[in-house]
Amino acid sequence: MNTPEDGIIRAVADAVQRRAPGRGDAVGALDSVRDLVANDEAELAVDYLVSTVNWFRLTVRQDEYDRLMSAAARLSYADAVTGIDPRLLLPAEDRD
């Protein structure tokens, strides 16, 4: 199933991946997020995305965090998103 939440989760994973060039394993791990979404496992995808961000110390822009939180809330899974290390959040306008 292709839901708006699926699209948001994929878009955030893609954005995080674009900021992680040269991070080898991190890129492969983020590919797994998309696979989980494709297999109708959006809740697991959120959890895996949060774990990957924290493990590889990847950055998430505030606007991406907010969109991910919104999607996760609609899935009744918002608690997982709060697990992102706040030190990894970038201001929304920071596009590095």
- CB 61, CB 89: distance < 8 Å: yes
pLDDT at 27: 76
Containing 22, the helix (H) or strand (E) segment is none
Strands 89-90 and 60-61: parallel
Using a cut of 0.85, tell me whether the model's pTM lies above it. Answer: yes
Q: Domain locations in the chain?
A: 4-83
Q: Tens digit of pLDDT for each residue in 1-10? A: 689 999 999 9
**Coil/strand/helix, residue 10:** helix
Q: Judge whether residue 36 has pLDDT over 70.
A: yes
Q: Terminus-to-terminus CA distance in the chain, angstroms?
A: 33
For residues 63 and 40, what is the distance between their CA atoms, to the nearest angstrom?
Answer: 24
**Mean of pLDDT values over 72-92:** 95
pLDDT on residue 23: 64
